[in-house]
Amino acid sequence: MSNKKAALITGGSRGIGRAISLRLAQDGYHVIINYRSNEKEAAATQKMITDDGFSSELCPFDITDRKAVSEAIEAILEKHTLHTLVLCAGIRHDELLIFMSEEQWDSVIDTNLTSFYAVVKPVVRYMIPNRAGRIIIISSTSGQFGLPGQVGYSAAKAGLIGATKALARECAKKNVLVNAIAPGFITTDMTGDIKEKELVKTVPMNRFGKPEEVASVVSFLASDDAGYITGQVIGVNGGVYM
């Protein structure tokens, strides 16, 4: 088993996940990049890391497939000293509730919320006996104040905030720290369909955020400097929610 600290980032191949992967690699972690199907983007992220002289590996699995998750994490824990888990993978299917299909609801809830159980449980079971670890959940301002057309997404992201706070209480005495980050409008391919010119007017800082600005908070929460912080929700939102 490698003694170098490892970090697993679900959805680590693109957007905010890519920025987090790159930043944690720079911080000295062996970065394990999870993705579901876009191997091209995952490989591109890995290449960015290795070209800079840092270590990384790809770990494809579907976070909604509990058997696949269990097998993948078991393999990771056999090889690596897992210090940090970042739960970043997520999807949106925006639609008014009256028009929302069961499939849209289920896919958003399963990917954004139910996956918490599948991914986090085996990691916590590993971290607690070691009395060390960081779990960082990427939620959203949508889970704090809700947005029209995002009933399912807001429900899932709000659920992550509740789960973060409850798990933080369960794990605090074992030095396993659990926190959430709630990004606002961040410029990624996931927000490409959002009308930025209109929505930016609702942001006090008058701009969308950058993935790197979320990654810097992940870096802090994973560091020794955040050793007395748990159960918190840190907004990276330009003031859109206070």
Q: Is 35 a catalytic residue?
A: no
| Residue that has been written with the tokens 């992967």 in this structure | 21
Which position among 29, 117, 153, 241 bears the catalytic label?
153
- Give how far Cα 214 sits from Cα of 11, 132, 211, 233, 238, Å: 14, 23, 5, 13, 11
CA pair distance 116, 152, nearest whole angstrom: 16
On whether the CB atoms of residues 241 and 141 are closer than 8 A, the answer is yes
- Give how far Cα 27 sits from Cα of 23, 24, 117, 220, Å: 6, 5, 27, 10
CA pair distance 56, 9, nearest whole angstrom: 11
Four-point Cα dihedral 36, 18, 158, 71, nearest 10: 40
In this structure, the chain runs to a length of 242
Could you tell me the strand order of the sheet in which 133-138 lies?
56-60, 30-35, 5-10, 81-87, 133-138, 176-183, 233-236
3 state SS of 54: coil
Question: Which of 108, 202, 198 has the alpha carbon at shortest distance from 149?
Answer: 108
On whether the CB atoms of residues 238 and 203 are closer than 8 A, the answer is yes
Instruction: List the catalytic residues.
Output: 153
